[in-house]
Structure 1
Amino acid sequence: MKNLKMSESEYKELVLAEYDRQMKNEPSLSALLVPTPAKIKSLVIMICEQGSKLSTGDEKILESFVGKKDNAAGYRKAFSTGKADPFRPLVNLFDDRSIKTNIRNIDLLALLIGFKPRPYHPSLPATITFDPPIKPAPPEIVTDEPPGNPDPSENPVEPGEEPTKGKSYKFLWIIAAVIIAGMSWYLISKKMEKHYTGKEGCMIWDDDHYEPIECKDRSSDAPHYPINQELVDHFKRISEPKKTLTYQSVGKVWYSNYKGSVQFYTDSGPNPLDTNLRVLPMTTHIFEKYVLHIKN
C-alpha cells in the first residue's frame, strides 16, 4: 500500500474525535463544553502564560492569529488586548462540523486540547493504526427496571408473608439473558478470529471482512493484499449500525464516506473499497448525522 499523506479534512476529523473523547471522559477544560469566543480567548491567554513550555509549532499556531511575536509574553499581550472575534469561526465549527474552516482553527483546537501532532502539515502521514484494536463491548441488557438498586426497606415484607414470586422469576430471566448474551458474544468473537495454515500470504476483502488467501489463489476477482493479521482479526464492516451503535461508540468505531455511501467499521485501517483512502474515527457529528439522522 502507498505511503499516504493526511489531508486537512482527515486531520480535522481526528482533532474533533479527540475533543469528543475528552469532553465525554475527562472534561478538564470545562470552558470548551459550551464554548464562546471569550472563553476560548481566556484559554489561549492561559496557554501563553506557559512561556518556555510552548513549542515552535505552538508558537506558529498563535502567530497565525496575531502575527509573529518575540516570546510568549508578547503573544499573551497581543491576545489580552485583542478582541475575541477571531475565535468565532471555531465556535461556529462546534455548532456545525460540516462547514469548511481555516486550518488554523483546527490547529488552535489541537493546541487547546493537547492533541499531537500539531499544527497540521501536508507531510503528516496518514497513519493506518491509531490505537490498539478495540473490540466492541458485549451487548447491554435493557430491562424495565428503574436505574439504581431498590432499597429493600421501601417494600418491607410483612411477617408471615412470602416475597413476591414474580420478582424472583424476573430476576432469573435477567440472569439467563445475561448468560445467553455473554455466550453469543464469545461465539461471535471466536468467529472473528481467523486461523492460518501458514500458506496464506495474502488477503482479500470479502463483503464485510478480510479473508486470508494464498497469493496464487485467483478464484476471486477481488484485489489481493499482503496479509495483515490485525486487519483480518479485527477489521469488519458493521452491517447494522442503527441497531449496534450508540453514543458510547463515538471514538471507538471508524467510518468511511465513499462515493456517497457511509459505512462503519470495527477498527482503523485502509478503506477496503479504495485502499488509497482510509477510514476515520466516528465523531458525535457523524453518529448523529448518519446513524440517528438528526438534522442540524
Structure 2
Amino acid sequence: MYNYTIEDYKKAVKAKYEIERQKVNFAYLENPAQGKLRDLCWEKFVEGVSQDDLNVFNDFFGFPFDATKKNFFREQRDKFRPIVSFFKGKTDPANIEAIDLAAILVDFQNRPFNKYRTKGKSEEMVLGDLKEVMPDNFIRDTEVPKNLKESPSYDIKLYNDIPKKKRTPSKLQYIGAAVIVCLIGLIIYLALPEKQCMQWSNDHYEMVDCDLKIEGLGMANKIEILDKSLVNLQKVNVCDTTTCFDKNGQAVIWYAKTANGIDFFNGHGRHPETNGTLRPVTRYILNKYVKK
C-alpha cells in the first residue's frame, strides 16, 4: 500500500490552491495576504463546516470557533503568516494544523491529513484482487488500466514480481479476468459524480444541460460547472424599504458597479455578467445610488 506522506499532502493542497486562486475566491487568493486569508477563513466557518474542520480550527488557533466573536477573531491576523508563505511557495509551515487550515481555505476535499494519507486504500485493494483472481502472467503481460497506473498506489514491482508459468491460461480464466475488469470499470464509473452545470438567466442561475449549445455572447450566457456557493445567487432591486443589514449591522445585500451603474445581489461571490467581486453594501452606497 502506498504511504501518503505529509509532503504528498502539501503538494496536493498547493496544487488545489493554484486552481482555486483563479476561481470565485480569487480576490482572497490571487495575491494572498494575512488579512485576506483571515477574512476568507471567517466566511467559510460562518457558512458551516464539518466537525473535522472545527477540530482543525481549535488545534490551529488554540480556541474553538465562535460566530459571535468576530472582533476577537480579527485580532488573529498574524496567525496566517505561515499559510501566506506556503501559498507563495516561500516556506512550508512547521505544523500540520497550518496545512490542514490551508486545505480548508482552498476547499481541498480530502482533508485533514489523517484522512488524506489513507485515501489510496481502495486502489490498493483493487490491485490485490486482480493479483488473486487473474492468471499468473495476465497482469504482467496486459496493459494496466490507466487510472490505476497513474495512481500513487501503483507499484510496477507488483506486476514484474509475479512468477511466470509455462501453462496457457484457460478460456474460463480469460472470461473471469474480463468480468473482473468490467466490474472494476463499472465501480469507478458509478463512483464518479454526475456532472452538473448552470447558466445565468436574467437575474438568477438556472440548472442546465452541460452540453447545451450557448446562444449569444458574454458572461450572461456562459455555461458553467455547478458552483454550490453561487447557484442561489440572485439579483435584487433595492429601494428605501429593503432590509440591507441584519440585527448586528452586518450587510445582507451585496453589490458590484457596472458600466450602467450598480447591481445588487442577495449574497456574496462574483458578478455573473462582469465577473467582478461582489462587496457588502454600505450606507454610503445606499445613500449615493438608492436614496436619491
What is the TM-score normalised by the length of structure 1?
0.42
Higher relative contact order (CA 8 A, sep 6+): 1
What is the TM-score normalised by the length of structure 2?
0.42
